[in-house]
């Protein structure tokens, strides 16, 4: 004991010379208190009371008397942005693209096109010194091997349905298409001629951006800010703020020009945002911050695509399949909630069908020789051919004659004839035969929008997890790596054709990337594995309620083609399984807008009042506020 400090008596506690005070004995009244133990004392209830008091002072204009007129529903997609008031019957659909003038003009990038479909090797000119029969007798082209397998699958299905196969149909189509003579359509006979733009404002949005005759020569950079279920980091790089600026531009221009809502009115509108089922957490955070802080909307509610589609179709239980332009998502909805372990994302969509159709038509001497899919007006030609020709019904396979129109900038329209046969069904079959897609090439130059090891909030990340459906889909690949080698799928090829080992992804299990490998599944297998993730007792229910949405759901014969393939899988594995059923969307509703329609229904429900996240909530809680309010995220 130091000198100067007296010894403590035995009956004392020894704390006399400290600042610590011995707490008093607990009062039984305090132990029975309900302070901060009921929902009425939470921050959400307090905010709700403030909002109810504020509503008493609000004056609603007569034109906004309809329910949902002060709620804006936003569904961003890879190709189109669907936006509108919840009181509207259908949304405003605009291309989700922005063209910005570069300074200097020479800095404008050339239009790019990622070729995700295997293409046949260029055929070298024949050697005149050798007989024709001795040149290229055996082909080692991987494209020919994959095409042979897909064509054999189609022939087997046609034999099963006892349908006749036209002999020598490919050569007949080639011969006809070689001798093409386009018909020139005069301007006074063309009611659909376009008003091309040679030069315009510094920023062009939507249709105006696609009407640029030559973007590079005019000094414009034309970019799509959304790709699949995330931001388009391939075209923008790692600059998230540049992407958000273009997202804001598209939304603001559409609200102002198509809906008459100006920026000063944003504070009076609430927003229902439709987000992907398997979303990237930074994507949701940046989008919510854009709407609540940057643009200043009143409040926000996030809604997942499959859940919104189930609302729109009036279903409480369904396996929702969304075939978008770039990605296809599969999820099972159970009584108003998405089952997290059933979520799957496939890295293919309607754009792959369009590209594969072009490859198939080139094999039969496509009459429009100057086709370049990097140019939007040529891409739109192939999109129109896809919508008018493609079908998944084997009854439509026959030698038929069609025509299409090509509209080039500042030139008269040209009408081409074309004869096709099985190309119309082989093109959409790519979603069931993904062996023709180069998935590794489609992932090139994509960057994460934030570092995976850096987080500003501590919470559980459901969106970053590997789901049970993915694990089921990749169990057959669970083999130990040999001598530490990286799997073939994780090796890129440089310009010299040499393999380059890539950094090992964070989601490697057993030597392979589970998320990447699961994204390469055929659509029918992905649906079956998603239903399997619910358990043996429930999977029957979801296989009998498959809801197909998205733009590619409009392909004729989609329901039959998917149902027959699913039935073949289930009858082999599940002996007690009844008939698989594809549920059509409600009448007079486009499957492409069904998710938006369901989000609009949610926005008008009384229960949505418990899901709003206000600006003050976002400032205090951040992304955790969305998680606690929208508990299904």
Q: 554 falls in which pLDDT band (50, 70, 90)?
A: very high
**Parallel/antiparallel/unpaired status of strands 400-406 and 613-614:** unpaired
What letters, b where the CB count within 10 A reaches 16 and e where it falls short, cover 225-263? bbbbbbbbbbbbeeebebbbbbbbbbbbbbbeeeeebee
Judge whether 349 and 337 are in contact, CB under 8 Å. no
Quote the pLDDT of residue 237.
Answer: 77
Judge whether 215 and 374 are in contact, CB under 8 Å. no
Judge whether 352 and 321 are in contact, CB under 8 Å. no
Q: Residue 360's closest CA among 167, 113, 175, 117? A: 117
Q: Which of 115-129, 481-495, 588-602 has the lowest mean pLDDT?
A: 481-495
What letters, b where the CB count within 10 A reaches 16 and e where it falls short, cover 37-64? eeeeeeebeebbeeeeeeeeeeeeeeee
Q: Residue 157's closest CA among 570, 434, 562? A: 562
Using one digit for the tens of pLDDT, what is the confidence trace for 318-333?
Answer: 999 999 999 999 999 9
Share of the chain above pLDDT 90, in %: 43
Give the highest mean pLDDT range of 131-140, 187-196, 360-369: 360-369
Secondary structure (DSSP) of 568-609: HHHHHH-TT-----EEPPPTT--GGGHHHHHHHHHHTSGGGG
Judge whether 82 and 90 are in contact, CB under 8 Å. no
Mean pLDDT of the region 624-630: 79
* Comparison of pLDDT for 485 and 244, the residue scoring more: 244
Quote the pLDDT of residue 376.
Answer: 92
* Comparison of pLDDT for 245 and 28, the residue scoring more: 245
Mean pLDDT of the region 307-318: 91
CA 166 – CA 83 distance, rounded (Å): 46
Beta-bridge partner residues of 547: 320, 583
Query: Above 60 in pLDDT, residue 462?
Result: no
Average per-residue pLDDT for the chain: 82
Quote the pLDDT of residue 132.
Answer: 37
CA 97 – CA 213 distance, rounded (Å): 15
Q: Which residue has the tokens 């998603």?
A: 530
Q: Residue 518's closest CA among 554, 557, 486, 478? A: 478
CA–CA distances in Å: residue 137 to residues 63, 140, 141: 74, 10, 12
Structure tokens belonging to residue 568: 């073949």
Query: Above 80 in pLDDT, residue 127?
Result: no
Mean pLDDT of the region 54-63: 52
What letters, b where the CB count within 10 A reaches 16 and e where it falls short, cover 476-491? ebeeeeeeeebbeebe
Quote the pLDDT of residue 498.
Answer: 38
Mean pLDDT of the region 429-449: 86
Number of domains in the chain: 1
Q: 609 falls in which pLDDT band (50, 70, 90)?
A: confident
Q: Which of 384-393, 490-499, 555-564 has the lowest mean pLDDT?
A: 490-499
In a domain, 160, yes or no: yes
The residue range of the domain holding 178 is 142-195+363-436
Q: Could you say which DSSP state residue 227 is in?
A: E
Mean pLDDT of the region 21-40: 68
In a domain, 424, yes or no: yes
Judge whether 357 and 423 are in contact, CB under 8 Å. yes
Query: Above 50 in pLDDT, residue 490?
Result: no
Query: Above 50 in pLDDT, residue 41?
Result: yes
CA 414 – CA 251 distance, rounded (Å): 35
Quote the pLDDT of residue 496.
Answer: 38
* Comparison of pLDDT for 44 and 495, the residue scoring more: 44
Q: Could you say which DSSP state residue 437 is in?
A: B
Q: 125 falls in which pLDDT band (50, 70, 90)?
A: low
Q: 280 falls in which pLDDT band (50, 70, 90)?
A: confident
* 3 state SS of 233: helix
Q: Could you say which DSSP state residue 432 is in?
A: T
In a domain, 613, yes or no: no
In a domain, 629, yes or no: no
Quote the pLDDT of residue 65.
Answer: 61
Share of the chain above pLDDT 70, in %: 80
Judge whether 406 and 183 are in contact, CB under 8 Å. no
In a domain, 169, yes or no: yes
Mean pLDDT of the region 390-418: 91
Query: Above 60 in pLDDT, residue 308?
Result: yes
Query: Above 80 in pLDDT, residue 218?
Result: yes
Structure tokens belonging to residue 112: 């790019």
In a domain, 517, yes or no: no
Query: Above 90 in pLDDT, residue 10?
Result: no
Q: Which residue has the tokens 């369009």?
A: 354
Quote the pLDDT of residue 387.
Answer: 93
Judge whether 271 and 299 are in contact, CB under 8 Å. yes
Q: What is the 3-state secondary structure (H, E, C) of 345-389?
A: EECCCHHHHHHHHHHHHHHCCCCCCCCCCCCHHHHHHHHHHHHHH
Q: 510 falls in which pLDDT band (50, 70, 90)?
A: low
CA 313 – CA 333 distance, rounded (Å): 12
Q: What is the pTM of this model?
A: 0.84
Using one digit for the tens of pLDDT, what is the confidence trace for 336-358?
Answer: 889 999 999 999 999 999 999 99
Beta-bridge partner residues of 204: 99
Torsion of CA 275, 279, 283, 287, to 10 degrees: 10
CA gyration radius for the chain?
Answer: 29
Quote the pLDDT of residue 130.
Answer: 43
In a domain, 520, yes or no: no
The CATH number assigned to the domain holding 381 equals 3.90.640.10
Quote the pLDDT of residue 605.
Answer: 87
Q: Residue 263's closest CA among 241, 296, 299? A: 296
Quote the pLDDT of residue 493.
Answer: 34
Quote the pLDDT of residue 479.
Answer: 59
Torsion of CA 394, 398, 400, 406, to 10 degrees: 50
Judge whether 210 and 97 are in contact, CB under 8 Å. yes
Query: Above 80 in pLDDT, residue 469?
Result: yes
Q: 451 falls in which pLDDT band (50, 70, 90)?
A: low
Mean pLDDT of the region 286-308: 93
Judge whether 117 and 438 are in contact, CB under 8 Å. yes
Query: Above 50 in pLDDT, residue 32?
Result: yes
Terminal Cα-to-Cα distance of the chain (whole angstroms): 61
Quote the pLDDT of residue 189.
Answer: 86
CA 599 – CA 364 distance, rounded (Å): 44
In a domain, 599, yes or no: no
Q: 139 falls in which pLDDT band (50, 70, 90)?
A: low
């Amino acid at each position: 004991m130091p000198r100067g400090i007296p010894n403590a008596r035995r009956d004392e506690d020894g704390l006399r010379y400290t600042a610590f005070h011995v707490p008093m004995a607990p009062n039984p009244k305090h132990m029975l208190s309900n302070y901060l133990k009921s929902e009425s004392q939470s921050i959400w209830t307090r905010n709700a009371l403030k909002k109810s008091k504020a509503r008493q002072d609000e004056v609603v204009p007569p034109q906004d008397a309809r329910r949902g007129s002060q709620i804006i529903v936003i569904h961003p997609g890879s190709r189109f942005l669907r936006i509108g008031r919840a009181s509207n019957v259908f949304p405003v659909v605009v291309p989700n693209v922005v063209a910005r003038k570069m300074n200097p003009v020479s800095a404008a990038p050339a239009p790019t096109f990622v070729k995700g479909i295997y293409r046949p090797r260029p055929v070298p000119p024949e050697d005149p010194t050798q007989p024709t029969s001795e040149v290229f007798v055996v082909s080692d082209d991987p494209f020919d091997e994959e095409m042979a397998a897909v064509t054999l699958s189609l022939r087997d299905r046609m034999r099963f349905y006892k349908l006749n196969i036209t002999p020598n149909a490919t050569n007949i189509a080639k011969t006809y298409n070689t001798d093409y003579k386009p018909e020139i359509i005069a301007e006074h006979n063309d009611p659909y001629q376009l008003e091309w733009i040679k030069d315009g404002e510094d920023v062009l949005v939507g249709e105006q951006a696609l009407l640029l005759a030559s973007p590079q020569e005019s000094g414009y950079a034309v970019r799509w800010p959304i790709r699949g279920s995330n931001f388009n980091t391939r075209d923008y790089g790692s600059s998230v703020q540049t992407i958000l600026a273009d997202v804001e531009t598209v939304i603001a221009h559409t609200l102002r020009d198509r809906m008459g809502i100006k920026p000063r009115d944003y504070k009076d509108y609430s927003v229902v945002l439709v987000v992907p089922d398997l979303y990237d957490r930074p994507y949701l955070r940046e989008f919510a911050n854009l709407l609540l802080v940057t643009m200043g909307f009143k409040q926000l509610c996030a809604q997942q695509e499959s859940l919104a589609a189930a609302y729109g179709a009036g279903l409480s239980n369904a396996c929702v399949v969304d075939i978008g332009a770039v990605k296809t998502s599969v999820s099972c909805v159970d009584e108003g909630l998405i089952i997290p372990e059933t979520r799957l994302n496939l890295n293919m969509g309607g754009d792959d069908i369009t590209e594969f159709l072009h490859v198939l038509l080139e094999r039969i001497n496509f009459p429009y020789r100057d086709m370049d899919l990097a140019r939007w007006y040529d891409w739109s030609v192939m999109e129109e051919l896809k919508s008018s020709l493609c079908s998944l019904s084997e009854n439509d396979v026959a030698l038929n004659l069609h025509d299409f129109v090509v509209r080039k900038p500042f030139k008269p329209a040209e009408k081409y004839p074309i004869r096709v046969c099985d190309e119309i069904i082989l093109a959409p079959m790519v979603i069931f035969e993904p062996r023709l897609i180069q998935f590794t090439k489609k992932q090139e130059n994509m960057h994460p929008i934030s570092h995976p090891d850096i987080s500003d909030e501590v919470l559980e990340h459901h969106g970053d997890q590997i789901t049970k459906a993915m694990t089921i889909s990749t169990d057959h690949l669970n083999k130990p790596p040999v001598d530490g080698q990286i799997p073939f799928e994780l090796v890129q090829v440089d310009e010299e054709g040499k393999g380059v080992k890539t950094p090992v992804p964070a989601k490697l299990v057993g030597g392979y990337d589970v998320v990447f490998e699961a994204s390469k599944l055929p659509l029918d297998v992905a649906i079956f594995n998603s239903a399997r993730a619910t358990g043996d007792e429930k999977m029957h229910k979801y296989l009998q309620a498959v809801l197909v949405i998205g733009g590619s759901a409009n392909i004729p014969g989609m329901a039959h083609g998917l149902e027959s393939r699913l039935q073949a899988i289930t009858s082999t594995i599940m002996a007690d399984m009844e008939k698989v059923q594809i549920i059509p969307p409600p009448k007079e509703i486009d499957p492409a807008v069904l998710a938006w329609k369901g989000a609009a229904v949610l926005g008008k429900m009384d229960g949505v009042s418990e899901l709003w996240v206000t600006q003050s909530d976002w400032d205090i809680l951040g992304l955790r506020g969305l998680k606690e309010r929208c508990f299904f995220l």
